[in-house]
Amino acid sequence: MSTATLTVGSDLPAVVTEPISRFTLAMFAGGSGDHNPMHVDTDFAHSFGMKDVFAHGMLSMAYLAQVLTKTFDQRAIRSYGVRFVSITPVKATVTCTGKVTEIFEEGGERRARLALTATVDGGVVTLQGDAVVALI
């Protein structure tokens, strides 16, 4: 899609994931290099007072990044950051959304600032993020 027509308030197409299975967490442990047992070993989670394993924050950050890469060429992304607001439980479905909050000139190019949000079932916010992309 052409990104030159985006205006403040424009919504980006959402990304909705499959429910996060334990298999997905094992795959992401290997794929991401994050070998923290908290995400794959229920016994380990219990020993630290958690009822179950929970998803890697960076898995949701990767899902939320797909809102960016589905609309923009990755080479146009200037910055991307998130706050991890709450834990993403295993079996959760993650809904990732993005909205244009500002359009401005910087670094000799037109850029858009985006507000990004990841939520899980029931609308619980798990990640709040922002990104700056070049509109080229």
What does the binding site for other proteins look like in residue numbers (CB under 8 A)? Answer: 17-18, 24, 27-28, 30-38, 44, 47-48, 56-59, 61-63, 65-66, 68-70, 74-75, 77-84, 87
- The smaller minimum CB distance to other proteins, of residues 7 and 84, is found at 84
Could you tell me the smallest distance in angstroms from the CB atom of residue 76 to other proteins? 9
Nearest distance in Å: CB 134, other proteins: 10
Pairing of strands 124-134, 109-120: antiparallel
- Phi, psi dihedral angles at 75 (to 5 degrees): -70, -10
Is 10 or 66 the residue whose CB approaches other proteins more closely? 66
Give min distance, CB of 32 to other proteins, in A: 5
Phi, psi of 15 (to 5 degrees): -115, 125
Cβ 101 to other proteins shortest distance, Å: 17
Question: 89 with 52: CB under 8 angstroms?
Answer: yes
What is the C-alpha separation between 42 and 63, in angstroms, rounded?
24
**Residue 32 or 101: which CB sits closer to other proteins?**
32
For residues 84 and 102, what is the distance between their CA atoms, to the nearest angstrom? 23
